[in-house]
């Protein structure tokens, strides 16, 4: 598995240089220009690391980082963040670290230095091939059993099928309708509330085993998504 890096930078020249340098390292890069795009991305599937510019068309990278550090989702609180600060703006660097960034680099920077910093952060955040060997959630395709961080889960048949449906679409939102059709079948009498109830009990069982993780994310009005952060797989 390759680490995915979120790059929030509105200057196309800088973004292009950085993306090129990262991709040459074999990292996957998701480039966004707006704070709200970064927000949407991390909530759908947290990356292994985020590189944030400070001044952005619809907001500020520092506030975004500060917001993540106070988030209810532990994956955002612990997401490694590197801030790209403007040249010579000492205040930005101080604020960056105060906002909870793990590192910063002042513009203009050498792509090689950025790559070295990012590599160090990824290593520090326990990203390693061995960590990725134990998936956070694994469901055997026959649908007979599911493992959470290598430990078997004690699930009912429907909970197992529900987890399997979310797991197959990991990182993407599944609507209640899609879950009903896939898990309960097209002709059943179950409704949206049935889905919510089963998600609730499934969540409780996951939490019982791993209180530090909450991999099922509710997207209000849309449905549910299973989010599998590689960086927390072995913890």
Nearest one of 162, 221, 217 to 46, comparing CA atoms: 217
Closer CB to Ca ion, residue 53 or residue 102? 53
Shortest spacing between CB 123 and Ca ion, in angstroms = 28
Please identify which residue in the block is written with the tokens 């599911």.
146
Cβ 197 vs Cβ 179: under 8 Å: no
Residues that bind Ca ion (CB under 5 A): 10, 53, 55
What would you measure as the largest C-alpha separation in the chain, in angstroms? Answer: 65
Taking the complex as a whole, the smallest distance from the CB of residue 87 to Ca ion amounts, in Å, to 12
Q: Which residue is nearest to Ca ion (CB)?
A: 55
* Sheet containing 151-152, strands listed edge to edge, beginning at the edge strand earlier in sequence: 137-139, 146-148, 151-152
Q: CB of 31: closest distance to Ca ion in angstroms?
A: 13
Q: Which is nearer to Ca ion, 109 or 167 (CB)?
A: 109
Instruction: State which residue, 10 or 25, has the beta carbon closest to Ca ion.
Output: 10
Kindly state the smallest distance separating residue 45's Cβ from Ca ion, in Å.
24
Residue 60: half-sphere exposure toward Cβ, Cα within 13 Å: 9
Which of 15/206 has CB closer to Ca ion? 15
**What's the closest the beta carbon of residue 10 comes to Ca ion, in angstroms?**
5
Our CB check for Ca ion shows the closer of 85 and 125 to be: 85
């Amino acid at each position: 598995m390759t680490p995915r890096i979120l790059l929030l930078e509105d200057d196309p020249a800088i973004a292009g240089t950085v993306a090129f340098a990262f991709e040459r390292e074999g990292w996957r890069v998701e480039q966004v220009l707006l704070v709200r795009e970064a927000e949407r991305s991390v909530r759908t599937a947290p990356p292994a690391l985020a590189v944030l510019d400070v001044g952005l068309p619809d907001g500020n990278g520092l506030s975004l980082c500060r917001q993540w550090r106070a988030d209810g989702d532990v994956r955002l609180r612990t997401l490694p963040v590197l801030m790209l600060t403007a040249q010579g703006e000492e205040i930005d660097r101080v604020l960056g670290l105060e906002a909870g960034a793990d590192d910063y680099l002042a513009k203009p920077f050498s792509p090689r230095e950025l790559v070295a910093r990012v590599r160090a952060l990824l290593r520090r955040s326990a990203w390693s091939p061995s960590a990725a060997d134990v998936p956070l959630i694994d469901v055997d395709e026959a649908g007979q059993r599911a493992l959470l961080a290598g430990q078997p889960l004690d699930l009912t048949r429907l909970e197992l099928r529900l987890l399997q449906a979310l797991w197959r679409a990991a990182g993407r939102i599944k609507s209640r309708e899609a879950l009903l059709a896939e898990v309960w079948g097209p002709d059943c009498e179950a409704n949206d509330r049935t889905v919510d109830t089963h998600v609730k009990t499934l969540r409780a069982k996951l939490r019982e085993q791993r209180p530090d993780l909450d991999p099922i994310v509710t997207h209000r009005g849309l449905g549910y998504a299973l989010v599998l952060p590689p960086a927390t797989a072995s913890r």
